[in-house]
Structure formats: C-alpha cells, structure tokens
Structure 1
Amino acid sequence: MTDTDPAATAGTVADRARFAKELAQNAGALARSYFLRRSELDIETKRSAHDLVSEADRAVERMIRTAIAARFPEDALVGEEDGCRAGRSGFTWIIDPIDGTAPFLAGMPGWCVSIGLVDAQGPLVGAIEVPMLAESYLALRGQGATLNDRPIRVAQARTLADGLVGIGANDRISNRSFGTFLAEFGAAGGAWVRYGSGALMLAWVAAGRLIAYLEPRMNVWDCIAAHCLIEEAGGRVRPFDLDEGLMIPAPVLGASPAVFDTLQRLGRLEEDTFWVPQAISV
C-alpha cells in the first residue's frame, strides 16, 4: 500500500474504473494473439513443473505496466512477473497478466487477465477479461458488478448442496491435508469443480455460476480484482492483508453469504498446522 497525497492523485476513481476495463480488454486481445501461436512461445518453470511462465505473461504485463505508468504515474503497482513499483497517490494496481498459464499453454480457454485496484479501505476496482469466452467483468466499489455490461449477483445458495464450489490447490500445501479437506467437504454435501484459473472461478462466484471458491494459499494478484467483483455482487470474501502481507500467499475464500461460514469452518483457513507445506523435490 502507499501513502496518500491528494494533490498527487490524477483522475478520479471512476476514471480508473473505465481505464481498467479498457486496459483489461486490450491486454486480453494481446494475450489472445499469443494464445493462437502458443506452440512458438518460450516457456520457463518457476517453483514447480506446473508453475509456468511464458513470454506471453511477460509481454502482457509489460503492456499493462506501461499503460498504467503513462496514465496514472503516481499510482503504485504490483504485478506477478515484475514485482512492485512504489507510488504516492494512495492507489495500488495489482495485476496478473495471464491467470491460468498452464491451461493457456495447453490450449484450453480457462484463463484470464486480472486487473485490480485497491486503496486503504481494500478492493476498489476489479476488471477481469476472459478472451476465449468473450467475457468482460467489471466492478467499482459502491457501484455494483457487471458481466458484459449487465449486472450480476451471487447465487442465493443456502447450503453446500445448492450449487458447485470451485476449489483450488497448489504445491504450497500437502496432498494429505488437501485430501482430508476434500473428504470432509464431500461428507458435508459439497460438490466441487476446478477450471484452470482461480481468478476466473472467483469471477464466476460473482456471476452466480459457483456458490463459492476456496483455495488455501493464493497470491494477491490472483484474487483481488475478483474480491471486488464478489463484494459488489453481494457476496462475502475473506480479507487479504494488503499491508505487511501483500506479497505473502494467503487463504482465499469468496462465497454466497449463507455458505461462507460453513466453508470457512470446513476449510480451516486459519489453521497453519492443518495446511502444512508440501515438500517440493528439485
């Protein structure tokens, strides 16, 4: 987060929301151009064999960073590939150029561009572009959430049996703890799905397609834009620490209000002794 200097703040929040929507669409078009020639891309491995980055991720993030720096030079910026840039306006952009790189590289449509904006009060603007599904999500605090310019609301689920829950996991947790959670979740009547991108599944919570999304460890750039969408669509989210914990993976839960507490309990998201780290062989 950044210190606020009102005199240095160029443009209004509404300006930034309009800009975020257009930028996400432009970034999505660039990402799609790489997707259509993905067999030619240079690909690198990060933490594990399933944690990938390609030249497409880096090119799309550079495009987004350049556009933000030109339009709002006093705003701070956090990106998945190129880290943090300090600011002094009180606004921080948090971006994931391609969330779902693995399905992107495998030729599947379950990936998106995620652009979030936060201030001292939390998520302020969320824009998610899903190029291969022709979906554009946008939310602005206090102004609601939309999909392709139509208002969206979370599902009116009362129990876990009332819909599908998106669930994510990665190499930061053990297979044993994840398996235990899934067994208890199933015993409670839940049914779950996994579709490529955590940011996209969180957006689907906002759109009422899923009744919740839970992931024990997630980065801020994967979730913060969708947090704004879910809150503006009438849902609940587990707050992400946007200060000291900004760069630390944390539990993520976004849900229809009536099932939030149930999933919080089943997920044991506060119990670090439950979600023990997965040993990664090099």
Structure 2
Amino acid sequence: MTDREKTTRNPEALTAHLAVANALADAARVATLAWFRRPSLSADSKEADRFDPVTEGDRAAEDAMRAILADLRPNDGILGEERGRAEGSSGLTWILDPIDGTRGFLSGTPTWGVLIALADAEGPFVGIIDQPYIGERFTGGPGLAEVTGPLGTAALATRAPRPLSEAIIFTTFPEVGTPAEGEAFHRLATQCRLLRYGMDCYAYALLAAGQIDLVVEAGLQTYDIAAPIAVIEAAGGIVTDWTGGPAHQGGRVIAAANAEIHAQALKVLSLTPRA
C-alpha cells in the first residue's frame, strides 16, 4: 500500500469517505423513488440489437450524485454507468451505478438498488448497496460491515463454510453470459442445494448478510461489482474472477461467503476456458 493509500484509508479519512457515500445514497434514493412505479416512466435502449434499458430515474440519480461530488470531492475521479468517466487528481475514484437492475425498476419490482463505491489503486475499499424502496442500506469498508433498514441496524457477516450440496447460489440471468459460461454456471448450480435468479445487486447484499453462499455472473462492468466487492469483503466474504484473480474490472465474477466454498466453486468454474 502506498503512502497515499495509507492516508486515504486511515480512520479519519474513512469517516469522511463514508459521510460522502451516505450523502450520495440519500440523494439517489430521492431521485430514483421520484420515478419508481410512475405511469409516466419510460425507457430508452442503450443497445440497438437488444433491449438494454435506461430510464430518467437512472440519469437523475447519477446526476444528483455527481452534483454532490462536484461540491464535496471535486478532485476525485468518477466512473458512472450513465455519464461515463471524469478524471481526478486525488488518486480516488467514485464508482456509481445509479440503478443496478433497471429492468426490475422498469417492471416495478423492489430489489433494484443503487451502487456506490470508492476505489484507490488497490481497488474498491468503501461500498454501499442501497435499496431505496425497501429502505435497506448495506455498507462495507475497513472495520465496518453493517445493514440499516426496517429491522434496525445489524452487523453483516457471511455464512460459515458448508459443502456445495448445501449451498444457495444466485445469478441474475439464466443464460449467464456466453453459452460456454452458461454451461459452466449450470454445472456448478446442479451441485448446489438451491438456485435462484433475478435479484441483481440484492443477491450480493444477501451474501454479505449471511443468507446465501454464492453469486456467480459473467459479463459484468466495473460499476456492477465495485460496491459489492467492498461490502462482501468487509463482511468476511471473497470476490474474484473465475480464475481466482481480481474482479475489480468486472467480467466473470464469483462472490463467495468464505474461502472454502469459493475454492469448491472455482474447481467447477475453472473448467471453462477464457474467452
């Protein structure tokens, strides 16, 4: 860790970072809920050959968060799903996904969320998975792993080791990327006790909260996974790519409750060659 990274990760700096992250999450709650389940909500597609929706809620939430950063952290970089990258000079980058699960948002389901992460050269080290409609906020950073919501505040801790045959595994889409990636995922899922689909970022929150054992996905972007990495690692879990390497840049990602079940799952997934 560099001297700059030691400075940005000390307790005083972390308190300030968390205050900013919570301000961003508060603003995104207001901006997203202003559009959620509104008859006037419509969506454009970001892709010509498939429906990849973006709504006014996505844009409004990212704009609200960027306005706060321009005021409070003007020297930090920003990477956002909807507005792209803005370079900074501090060595820190805020990684924003204003609505993770826009398909769910558009459909009126409540498990979409807002993802906020702060990263340095080593990767994301502060993260928030916020669920505006449910009112739950999962926060992770050095020395902090907690959820606040309708049931109050509680510590986050991932599940204890168990065999794959007793594991609960999640992914968002049944096809899980390419045909080869989908085949590898389903080979793993058939060895688990329970498979569930479609929770988007909420699946990662459930893993951090000790409810499930594995989340496995492919084709992710940095803004999809940066916040879950920080939250899950703070709660005692592990997040890597399918070869056990860093997952900060997205791609093929496995999030596991502990090193033991991570190793079991990697043995299955590693049979798939890199694209």
Tell me the TM-score normalized by structure 2: 0.85
1:9-28 to 2 correspondences below 5 Å:
12-28=13-29
Residues 250 and 12 of structure 1: CA distance in aligned 2, closer, same or farther (over 3 Å) = same
Match of 1:280 in 2: none
C-alpha separation in 1, matches of 2:112 and 2:271: 25
Q: Given the superposition, is the C-alpha separation of residues 74 and 210 from structure 1 closer, same or farther in structure 2, using an over 3 Å criterion?
A: same
- 2:68 maps to what in 1? 67
For 1:6 and 1:266, locate their aligned partners in 2 and report how far apart those are by CA, in whole Å: 37
What does residue range 203-218 of structure 1 map to in structure 2 within 5 Å? 203-218=205-220
| Counterpart contact for 2:42–2:106, Cα < 8 Å | no
The residue that corresponds to 1:42 in the other structure is 42
Question: Secondary structure of the equivalent of 1:89?
Answer: coil
2:147 paired residue number? 147
3-state SS of 2:139 partner: strand
Which residue does the alignment assign to 2:139?
A: 138
Measured after TM superposition, the shift of residue 179 of structure 1 is 4.6
CA 1:22–1:180 in 2, change beyond 3 Å: closer, same or farther?
same
Q: What secondary structure does 1:132 align onto?
A: coil
For 2:55 and 2:269, locate their aligned partners in 1 and report how far apart those are by CA, in whole Å: 32
Aligned to 2:202, the other structure's residue is in SS state helix
Most deviating of 200-209 and 157-166: 157-166
Q: Work out the number of aligned pairs and report it.
A: 261
**Alignment-derived partner of residue 199 in structure 2:** 196
1: distance between equivalents of 2:26 and 2:163? 35
Give the gaps of 5 or more residues in structure 2: none
Q: In the aligned structure 2, how far is the partner of 1:132 from the partner of 1:17? A: 21
Question: For the Cα contact (< 8 Å) 1:75–1:92, is it kept in 2?
Answer: yes
1:184 lines up with 2:187 in the alignment: yes
Counterpart contact for 1:170–1:217, Cα < 8 Å: no
Sort the Cα spacing of 1:133 and 1:115 in 2 relative to 1 into closer, same or farther, 3 A.
same
Q: Is the 8 A contact 1:27 1:64 kept in 2?
A: yes
Gaps of 5+ in 1: 274-282
**1:153-164 map, 5 Å:** 153-164=157-168
Query: Comparing both chains, which one has the higher relative contact order based on Cα–Cα distances under 8 Å and sequence gaps of 6 or more?
Result: 1
Q: C-alpha distance in 2, partners of 1:6/1:187? A: 43
Q: Is structure 2 residue 120 aligned with structure 1 residue 109?
A: no
Partner of 2:122: 121
CA 225–161 in structure 1, closer or farther in 2 if over 3 Å, else same: same
CA distance in 2, matches of 1:168, 1:268: 20
Residue range with higher mean Cα deviation, 146-155 or 95-104:
146-155
Q: CA RMSD in A?
A: 2.7
Between the aligned partners of 2:247 and 2:161, the Cα distance in structure 1 is 27
The aligned amino acid for 1:235 is G
Tell me if structure 1 keeps the 8 A contact 2:184–2:272: no
